[in-house]
Amino acid sequence: MVRNDTFFADKWISYYGNQFGFQNLFLFIDGMDQELPSLAAKINCFQIPHEELSRAKGDRKRVQHISKFAKYLFEKYQVVLAMDIDEFLVLDPDQNKSLLTYLSQDFKVHSLSALGLDVGQHPTLELPIDLSKSFLSQRSYAQVSDRYTKPVVALKPLNWGSGFHRVKGKNFTIDSHLFLFHFGLVDLDHATQSTQNEQLLSSGWEGHFKRRHQLYEALKSQSARDGDTFFKVARDYFKNHRKWYAWNKPAPLRDHGVISIPKRFQTLV
pLDDT higher at 189 or 209: 189
| For residues 233-260, average pLDDT | 96
247 or 201, which is more confident: 247
pLDDT at 208: 45
- Residue 208 burial (CB count, 10 A): 12
∠223-224-225 over CA atoms, to 5°? 115
Q: Across the strands, what pairs with 124?
A: none
Q: Is a pLDDT exceeding 60 seen at residue 131?
A: yes
Task: For residues 184-191, give the mean pLDDT.
Answer: 92
pLDDT tens across 51-106, in order? 888 767 888 888 999 999 999 999 999 999 999 999 999 999 999 999 999 999 99
Residue 265 vs residue 208, higher pLDDT: 265
Model confidence at 110: pLDDT above 70: yes
Condensed to tens digits (0 to 9), the pLDDT of residues 200-240 reads 434 544 544 467 789 999 999 999 999 999 999 999 999 99
pLDDT tier at 174 (50, 70, 90 boundaries)?
very high
Asked if residue 122 has pLDDT above 70, the reply is yes
Q: Phi, psi at residue 89, to the nearest 5°?
A: -80, 125
pLDDT of residue 195: 57
CB atoms within 10 A of CB 220: 14
How far is the C-alpha of 119 from the C-alpha of 93, rounded, in Å?
Answer: 18
**What stretches of 21-140 show up as alpha helix (H) in DSSP?**
55-73, 99-103
Kindly give the pairing relationship between strand 258-260 and strand 141-145: antiparallel
**More confident: 197 or 44:** 44
- For residues 153 and 91, is the Cβ–Cβ distance under 8 A? no
Report residue 136's pLDDT band, with 50, 70 and 90 as the boundaries.
Answer: very high
Confidence (pLDDT) at 205: 40
Element of type H or E holding 11: helix 9-20
User: What is the predicted pLDDT for the residue at 203?
Assistant: 54
pLDDT at 175: 98
E strand spans, 165-255: 174-185, 225-226
